[in-house]
Structure 1
C-alpha cells in the first residue's frame, strides 16, 4: 500500500527534505506527530496557506497527527522571510481575534475531535520566557555566521535587519523543540520560504534532545510562469467569504491558465490522480470542463457544497445570458449616490479598490454596465441604469457584480 509520502510526491507537494530516505521510511512504518505553523497576521487565511492545509489533511487521512501551531507569540515579532520591509506590529487583542478566525477555517480541512489533531498557540510558551535563560539555553546553539547566510535574512540585510526580527529564527526553532517535548512532534512541514527556519528547529532538537527530527517543505503555489497565484485585482484571494465572496473565489479558479489546471487539481483537490491527469490532458474548448471541476471542488472545500453550487449556477447563468442572477455578488449603495459618476459608485460599493484602478479598467475597455461598454470615465449613473432595481457591472471578461439601491 502506498504511503502518504508517495501520495505527496505524486501530487507534486514536496520540494525539500532534511533526510529524504529516513523520512520516507518513517512515514511508511510509523504514525507520527508533525506540525505546521500559521502566523495570525490577518483574521483570515488566504490561498497561500491552502497548500499547507491540504498537505496537513493528506497526512491526517494517512493516520498521522497534525499540530496546527498558530503563532500568537511569533506574530508579535514578525517573520522576515520573503519580506523586504518589516511587518506591521499587531496588538495582543488583534492576534487573539485572528487566532479564533483562523481556527474556524482550519476545521474545514482538519478533524480536531478526540485528539486527532491539536491546536496550539506559541504565545503560551514564548510570552513568558525569561530572556537571559532563553539566550543561555537556546541562543548558544545558533551560529550568527550561519544565520546570516540564510535566504530569509539575506534579502532583509540590504535594507536593514532589526534585532527583533533576527530573533525570529530562534523562536521558531524553539517552537519545534517545545512541541517535541510536549507531544513527541518529530517533523515540521511548511512552505519552501520557511526552509532556513525549519532547518534551525530540526537541528536544535538534535542538539538539545539527542533525537532525530525532520523537516519537509511544500512547493509554493505558483503559475506556469513562476508567479505566485492567489492575487486578484482587489488584493489577496482570502478564504473568508466576507473578504472574497464564494462567487469571486469560484471565478478565480474557473479562469486559471490552461497550463495550470492539472497542477491546481493535484494540489488543491482530493480528486484521484487518474481523474486529475484525465482532466489536465483536455485541450481546446474541453479544458473549460476541467476548469469548472477545479472551481467547484476548491470552492466546495473552502465554502461548502451549497455555496459552491450557488457560485456555479450564478456563473453559468451569466455566461448563458440572463438566467438566475440571485447568486451574483451583490453590493448595495445609498440612493443619494444616484447621479454620481460610475467611479464614485463602484468605489463606494467596493467593486473596485480605487478610482485609479477604475480609470485603467475603462481606458482598457474592460468595464461594462448592463452589457454596454463604458468609454467615459465621468459617466453619470442615473435611475435608468437600475433595471428591475439592479445594475449589472462586468469587469474584464468574467467578473460580475450586481449593484442595488438600499
Structure 2
C-alpha cells in the first residue's frame, strides 16, 4: 500500500467516526508510523508502506476513532517550538496557552528586561511543563520553579526537562497551588525530600541545599494529603469562598519555606489552572471529558474558584511590582478580574487571536493598596 492510499483510507475511517480535525489526525498518525514530516508525505505519495507499518497505522487510526486524542497515541505535542512528551497524566498543551508565555515576554520587554535578566518565576499547575520549559528556553538566566498536585504529572514534566536539556533549569515541586512556598508556621519549613522515580530535579533543591545533580529527589509541599483521591484534589482546589482580608494578611506574613527567604521573592507567577465549571461539562469535548485528567481541567463549581485561592497566594510570593499571569476560560473576562482586590494594580484582560478573553495579567503594588513602582528586582 502506498502512502497516499494509506492516508486516504485512514482519513475516511476518521471521518466516518466523526473524529474532529480528521485530516490532521490522519497525517500525524502516519507521520508517527513512518517517522517523517508532513512534507515527506506529500512529496513522496507513491512510496510503499510496508505491511507491518500499514497494520500499525490502521491500529492507531482505530484507536483515534475511539476518541483517544492523537497526542496521547503518539506521545508527543509541540508547544512554543518544543517537542513535549504527553501522557494521559497531563493536560495536552494547547496553542492558546502560548499567550501566557507571550504575556511574560511582553511585560519583561516593556520593563526593559531582556533574555539575560535573572528573573525568578514559578509555574503553578505545570502539567507537562510546557509553560515553565518555554520560559526557561526564553530566559536562560532565569530561576524557575513549577508546581503540580499530581506526582505523575511532575514525572512527565521532569522527563521533558531532561529530554530538552533543561534538567537543571526548573525545580519541580509537588504542591497544591503555591502552598509549598508558604509554611504554616514561620518556624516549620514545608516537608520535602521524597524520592520520585524518573524525575530529574536540579541541585540544589528548594528545600535542601546540598544534593548531587544525579539525585532523584523532588520537593513536596507539606499540605498535600497522600491518600486523597483525584476528586478530592479537585474540590480542595476549588474552594468557593472569596479570599478574606485576614487570609491575605496571613499569607503575606507567612514565611517562604524554600531557600529560607520570605514572601515577595518571585518576579512572575504564571498558571493555566483548571477553570471549567460544572455547568460547562456538557460542552466539553469528548476527548477532554473522557481522556484528559479532570484534575487538570476542572468540572466543579463555577470554574473561577481556583483563582480565588491562587490570587491571594500569588500576592504573598510576588515581589512588589511582580506579575501574575493566568489563562482563563472564554466566559471569564469579567469574573476573574473581579477577584483581584487590594494589593493589585494594572489588571488587564488580553484576548487570543480570535478575540476571545484568554489571559489576565495583574501587577502586585509596591505597597498593599498602592500603585506599583517597579519590578523590585
TM-score tier (shorter)? under 0.3
Q: Which has the higher contact order (CA 8 A, sep 6+)?
A: 1
What TM-score results when the alignment is normalised by the length of structure 2? Answer: 0.28
| Structure number having the greater helix percentage | 1
